[in-house]
Amino acid sequence: MGDGTKIDNLVMVGHNVRIGRDCLLCAHSGVAGSAELGDRVVLGGKAGVADHARIGSDVLLAAASGVSGTVPPRSIMMGTPALKRDDFYRLTVALRRLPRWMERMGGQG
């Protein structure tokens, strides 16, 4: 664990995990075994990182999000499975519009 890293209550960190400098792991988040977190990574409350995942530096993982692969540096990730913020917003908007689109197409909505 790097200098300046803070771990809140109810956080689980698995075996062989590497955590960089100045990270913040908020309440009820978890990092599974052999995962790697770069410097200045923030895990929002109830966020999860799967085993062997790699998270680059300067990444924000929003609350209740889940990562199972590689996250590039300087990313903001949201959802489960975690998506880049802009992709998450586009998907959320499309999902909310789906009932109207189905109604227009004559389907059940």
- Indicate which residues carry an active-site annotation: 15
Q: Is 91 left (phi over 0), alpha (psi -120 to 50) or beta?
A: alpha
Q: Which two tokens stand for residue 76?
A: 């903001």
Rg (C-alpha) for the chain, rounded Å, is 17
